[in-house]
Structure 1
Amino acid sequence: MRCTQCLQEMSFSSSDSRSHDKTGKQGAKTDQNWKYTMYFDPEADRRTGADYEIEDEQLVEKMSQLVDAAEMIQSVQAYKGPLGWFQLTKAVFYHEFIVFTTKNYYWSIEKHSDCITIQRAKLRCNVEQRFRHNPRFEGFSGITLMKSAAGTKSIKQLIDWLYINRELYKHYTFFEWNCQCFAERVYNYVT
């Protein structure tokens, strides 16, 4: 069974199970919060500073301005954490996210019910143990490393992959386009 990191964030309405807006973007009951954007925090070490919400159409250009696109991903780790305080085990239901290292930074990338998030920091703990400047939820079972491998791609290749594969258009769903599926796709691509 696949997960949702923020079950409590998901809203279930009694309206149609599917809807379309004027841009042709498709939604479902379980993804009403999906924004078709990427949240990027280039300074996750700092409590204040600039962060960005980037739309698909601007993804490649904007990220090329904000990061050293040629920077190579050296190592990649997949982590999992509990979904709620009530959870004693992460055997079936869990949130999965990726942490990777480049020459100058530590990064995390993950999918939640509203958008894809990328964080960058000088200290590993600020992407591994924190999400958008708040401590990651650890519950009773904590956050654990699932697997690790050497990286084979650059930041530019990862950004291009997100754009080419239209990852920002893959709204969050319980079984197919969730955090685990996304993390596995990212992990497999960059390793």
Structure 2
Amino acid sequence: MKTTQYHDTLSSPIGSAFAILSVYSLYIVFIYRFLHKSEMIDEVSYYTHPLNSWQIGKVVMYHAYIVLKTNDWYWSIEKNDAGVTIQRSKNIEHVRDKYYRIKRKENWTSGIAMEKSKSVNNKTVKQFIEHVYEANYVNEEYGVIQKNCQQFANKIYDFI
């Protein structure tokens, strides 16, 4: 898989967005540059939104992703056919409602919805990133039926 890193410098005052397309860049970017070893995860939430703006409901077809809350940041992690994306911001709206600074898909019957949420008291962001690295989620092939965004979000939610 090609190693690519995306860093949104325009959003640096409020956070950063990264698309990590290889295990190598995931490890280098996060472990050595952006993580505080003591940054505890306070809450994990499972969000969904429709895949298309013309879609009537979200019964089977929907995109799923995870939002983490720490004392200092909001983080999102999600998987699609382009790879695994991790975003970070001081404002929840920038990771919950946007993907690469573009508004997430919504329609007249459904939009962005938090499906479940739980408090966390024993995981750090560093442990979370190491889990993604060690489980090799970044290099897993994406599939519409298997290894899709919903299954990825479930794995992350269950770990945290």
Aligned to 1:147: 116
Q: TM-score, normalised by structure 1?
A: 0.72
Conserved in 2, the CA contact under 8 Å of 1:41 and 1:52? no
Shift of 1:57: 2.3
Alignment partner of 1:92 out of 32, 57, 60: 60
Could you give the per-residue CA deviations for residues 124-178 of structure 1, whole angstroms, max 9, x where no partner exists? 1111111111111112211111000012311111111111111111111012210
Pair 1:42–1:150, CA change in 2 (3 A):
farther
4+ residue segments displaced more than 6 Å? 47-50
Pair 1:115–1:86, CA change in 2 (3 A):
same
Does 1:184 find its partner at 2:154?
yes
Cα RMSD for the two superposed structures: 2.6
CA distance in structure 2 between the aligned counterparts of 1:50 and 1:96, rounded to whole angstroms: 18
Does 1:57 find its partner at 2:24?
yes
Aligned to 2:102: 134
Gaps spanning 5+ residues in structure 2: where? none
Aligned to 1:107: 75
Instruction: Look up the equivalent residue of 1:59 and give its one-letter code.
Output: L
Does 1:173 find its partner at 2:143?
yes
Bigger Rg, structure 1 or 2: 1
Conserved in 1, the CA contact under 8 Å of 2:6 and 2:17? no
The number of aligned residues is: 157
CA distance in structure 1 between the aligned counterparts of 2:141 and 2:3, rounded to whole angstroms: 7
Pair 1:44–1:147, CA change in 2 (3 A):
farther
Identical positions, percent: 33
CA distance in structure 2 between the aligned counterparts of 1:71 and 1:110, rounded to whole angstroms: 20
